[in-house]
Chains A and B, each alone.
Chain A
Amino acid sequence: MTLTVTRPTTTVPENPRPFGFVRHSLALARRSLIKTLRTPEQLLDVTLQPVIFVVVYVFLLGGAISGSTHDYLQLLLPAIMVQTVMFGGMATGVNLNTDIGKGVFDRFRSLPIARSAPLVGSVLGDLIRYVVAIVSLLGFGYAIGFRIQTDPLSALAACLLTILFAFSVSWAFVFIGMLMRQPGGVQGVAFLVLFPLTFGTSMVAPKESMPGWLQAWVNVNPVSHVMDAARGLMLGGPVAGPVGWTLLWSAAFIVVFAPLAVRAYRLRV
């Protein structure tokens, strides 16, 4: 029997095309981006929440802590930007935990793509959340009197550095997201990690006012360096050291947690 097969115009290449990993990850990042934009209520945590934090700290506590709400705002804002963006990264872990139980992840697993591509796609797609968080926070801060005291380029560098750090840390949340059974569990564990990391810093009060053991933690806490770097870049002051440490810690988070997250994803049935 002779079988005639009409070769269709669009055929899947027999062999993988080069740079597949990058293309697949970007296609999946686009998916994640579309999902976020189509359910904007998911962005509440990065739009409204930081504004509420600023209001509480500046107007409720600022006067008591630093004597003037205006001076306090200048010091608080770069630091709270770091906190906000890190909290935003938690959503990546929570969302992935929900997402992975759905059939669409079975389909991803049955496709000839790298196992890590869906995770990388989600983490990249969620970068939009960080941008939204920073725009919302700086906009509100500006409206109530925050002013960048350096130059726009340095301020931009502060934002990018913060995003890079949050991107690295989000791999830890992805890892947690792959380990936990329920989204609620992810959130619980993520908060346990986030609180000491973000509050165990000089974010809301000067380090000198804290007990010795806490000062010791602030000194070794990687987030302290990120907040110092953001303050240095936006307000002036030492930059090189904190920026160097931030880059180092970012690399460390990715090197440790990205492989762990991918491994946990592979093991998850």
Chain B
Amino acid sequence: MNLAFEAEGLVKRFGKTTALAGIDLAAGQGTVLGVLGPNGAGKTTAVRILATLLRPDAGRAAVRGVDVVKDAGRVRRMIGLTGQYASVDEDLTGMENLVLIGMLLDLCRVDAKARAAELLKEFGLAEAGSRPAKTYSGGMRRRLDLAASLVGRPDVIYLDEPTTGLDPAKRDDVWNIIRSLVTDGVTVLLTTQYLEEADALADDISVIDHGKVIAHGSPAELKQVVGGQTILVRPTDPARLADATAILAAVSGREPESPARGVIAVPVDDDTAFTTVVGRLDREGIGVTELSLRLPSLDEVFFTLTGRHTVEETAA
């Protein structure tokens, strides 16, 4: 498989802080690489190096075989970047923002306008295109930002936490946009703090911590490592908590935890565990107000991989 981008042994220090301690990332053409990690793990630094904004202190990175340091100009013609915060100009209209990018990418004015109109329509911003971006809602801004990184039809796009701060409906919009990009053959590097997001979009996931890759694999592989999924139960009658706990323990073969008052949760490996639990609860007549099967959270992934919680991470 041809690699769309690759990074080998990237090291970056800021003063005494080591942001990247030798990181390897790679994605095949037309795939999505999810980079999963807590705040401060080095996700943004890695993206900034791959996007030619920063030079690594050691290691190398290339986009379609072109070195990001030696031949930054050529790399910049192949990439699109969307940062954590919307990188659009608030005083400019949606249209003006996109036309400016087009002009900077050497399109002639007519083409730049045509491309901008096309993207605004695609991203549901045709109406809003003539208004300054500062009048846009958070979701609209994020869409404009995504559109801006697509003006040049890049081969590779970097999305640095593209859904942070968006409500679930807006987040789904962004997810659909990312899916359609991949259909068009674009390679995506997606950084996120949510395993759910990486699971929904990525072909491969690299989990990073302290500037190092601590796990890499497909979402399925990764979920296997961290104990598949978690069943969560909240009995209607708190008095039945002990009975419910016994059922979960029996089905999973693990000791359930209580993440919140009146709630019990346990990781399960077996795909049929959930239906078994439902059947047993029903037979014993235990009513539930909450019953769910969910993916482990980033914190749980982290705890399994490192024995530490991400919260301690940020406090340190």
Contact = CB atoms under 8 A, between A and B. Distances in A.
Interface of A: 3, 5, 8-14, 16-17, 20, 23-24, 27-28, 30-31, 34-35, 38-39, 102-104, 106-113, 117, 269
Contact of B152 (A9, A12, A108, A109): A12
Interface of B: 14, 48, 51-54, 73-74, 76-77, 79-81, 83-89, 91-92, 96, 100-107, 111-112, 114-115, 118, 132, 145, 148-149, 152-153, 185
Given A27-B103, A109-B52, A35 B152 contact: no
Contacts of A12: 77, 105-107, 152-153
Contact of A11 (B14, B91, B153): B153
Given A112-B73, A112-B105, A103 B87 contact: yes
B104 A38 contact: no
A16 B73 CA distance: 9
A31 B81 contact: no
Contacts of B53: 106, 109-110
Nearest to A35: B91
B106 A269 contact: no
B153 A107 contact: no
Contact of A111 (B89, B101, B132): B101
Give 6 closest A-B pairs by Cβ, nearest first: A103-B87, A112-B76, A27-B103, A10-B111, A110-B81, A35-B91
Contacts of B145: 103
B104 A27 contact: yes
Contact of B91 (A9, A38, A111, A113): A38
A39 B91 contact: yes
B104 to A, nearest CB: 5
Nearest to A108: B104
A37 B106 CA distance: 25
Contacts of B84: 103
Contact of A110 (B79, B88, B114): B79
B106 A13 contact: yes
A28 B103 CA distance: 9
A109 B80 CA distance: 11
Contact of A106 (B81, B104, B111, B114): B81
B100 A27 contact: yes
A95 to B, nearest CB: 11
23 contacts: A9-B114, A10-B118, A12-B105, A14-B77, A23-B103, A23-B106, A24-B103, A27-B103, A28-B104, A30-B100, A31-B92, A35-B91, A35-B92, A38-B91, A102-B87, A102-B89, A103-B83, A103-B87, A104-B88, A107-B81, A109-B53, A110-B52, A113-B104
A107 B101 contact: yes
A222 B180 CA distance: 60
Contacts of B105: 12, 111-112
Given A106-B87, A112-B73, A16 B106 contact: yes
A74 B107 CA distance: 50
A107 B87 contact: yes
Nearest to B73: A112
Contact of B88 (A35, A103, A112): A103
Contacts of B86: 103
Contacts of A108: 104
Which residue, of B53, B73, B101, B104, has the highest number of chain A Cβ atoms within 10 A? B104
